[in-house]
Amino acid sequence: MIPSRYLTTCDDDNSRVAMILGGDQRPLRGESTILLAPKIKLSSGYEMPVLGFGTYKLRGFQCTSAVHCAVETGFRHFDTAYYYENEKDVGEALRTQIKMGNISRENIFLTTKLWNTHHDPRDVRRICEQQLKLLGFTYIDLYLLHFPVGYKHMCDEILKPMSDGKLQTTNVDYIDTWNAMEELVKLGMVRSIGLSNFNMEQVQRVIQCSSSKPVVNQVEVWPGFLQKDLVDYCRYNGIVVTAYSPFGQPNRENHSPTYFFSEGMKRLVKKYKKTSGQIVLRFLVDYGVVPIPKAANPLHISQNLNIFDFKLDDSDTRALLGIKPKKRIVKYDIVKEHPFYPFERDEESQYQDVNNLQNVPLAREQRETTLNDDDQRGE
């Protein structure tokens, strides 16, 4: 669970919320009536909402519409990346909301990422400047090193350089890339820097070989794939873990992951009168990670934020913690032979199989869940 001392909250209508305002700034139009997510303080001193809005695979009108809806719903933490090719769309929607008076720049926490083709330290500042132009802002709140393995740079538009059916990688050391990212903080282009898809040993190496440690490590986390050792290690070092694919990419056709469609989850839905997605997000926030669910449907966007008016019982939390371990979804297998490949190659789970969610006790009347494929994320 995220320690209470790290959260900035206030009470409104019996819900724990945070009015994410800059300094002594008064609420903007309509903001006083919106319930916002609590915040956690990063080691850099800045604050980040404990629930974010993911934008992977959202582009064009669908992306701008979703971001508009997310802002008006109450989301203030937005996650994008150069690889997503939607930074311009995300920035356009956020800037429009600012012009409309619905939010200020200081109230937005914006994350984007340095893609694998730009690991060469000489490219880092240039591409960050380009990303700032696409977003239309003068600074980025959080800039992540997207993946430890670098790809060959052919041009900025080619994101996966292939030759003879093989992805072309480089031997650029991610430490050198990280050192170049540190300069962006000194220049005021980014406020905080972090990692994504780094394993424990790689995080430790960054800490040991640089002058500043990452404030965030964004990795795959969902019930059944909790990465407890990595999460605990990051927590010990004051690094916040952001969780992508927080639901495990539910698929109705084959009922995967199993836990999401299980009888145990249905019982939780009946008990708490919340959707499966809301139960999972509440669980992950209490687990101590910051989930960034993606959604395009306005109903699901609203549901994803509406998780701070209930709390799971200890027995239900234990049941979710005890879900049978599953395999990683996002694998980057195409570069698994690279020495910097961060994931396990045998795909054998490292967690003990304890109680199954099927054992959750029966609760009140049954209620249908409302989650569909637009709430998936992968890379």
On the CB side of 130, how many CA atoms lie within 13 Å of its CA? 14
User: Annotated catalytic, 341?
Assistant: no
Compute the average pLDDT of residues 171-194: 98
Query: Is the pLDDT assigned to residue 291 strictly greater than 50?
Result: yes
Query: Beta 216-220 vs 240-244: how paired, if at all?
Result: parallel
Compute the average pLDDT of residues 236-265: 95
The fraction of the chain above a pLDDT of 90, given in percent, is 80
Lowest model confidence (mean pLDDT) among 30-44, 156-170, 252-266: 30-44
- How does DSSP classify residue 324? P
- Largest Cα–Cα separation, the chain: 61
pLDDT band (50, 70, 90) for residue 33: low
Count, in order, helices (H) and strands (E) of the chain: 10, 15
pLDDT band (50, 70, 90) for residue 378: very low
Residue linked to tokens 């001392």? 5
* 218-238 pLDDT per residue, tens: 999 999 999 999 999 999 999
What is 50-375's CATH topology?
TIM Barrel (3.20.20)
* 47-106 pLDDT per residue, tens: 999 999 999 999 999 999 999 999 999 999 999 999 999 999 999 999 999 999 999 999
CA distance 14 to 362: 27
Query: Is the pLDDT assigned to residue 25 strictly greater than 70?
Result: no
Instruction: Give the chain's mean pLDDT.
Output: 87
Residue 287, pLDDT score: 98
Residue linked to tokens 């605990």? 232
Phi–psi pair at 240, nearest 5 degrees? -80, 135
Query: Beta 53-54 vs 77-79: how paired, if at all?
Result: parallel
pTM (whole model) above 0.75: yes
Name the strand (E) or helix (H) holding 231: helix 228-236
Catalytic residue among 83, 84, 151, 174: 84
Start-end of H helices in 169-275: 174-186, 200-208, 228-236, 263-272
Residue 346, pLDDT score: 61
Name which of 35, 59, 40 is nearest 2 in CA terms. Answer: 40
Residue 3, number of CB atoms within 10 A of its CB: 10
Residue 228, pLDDT score: 97
Query: Is the pLDDT assigned to residue 34 strictly greater than 80?
Result: no
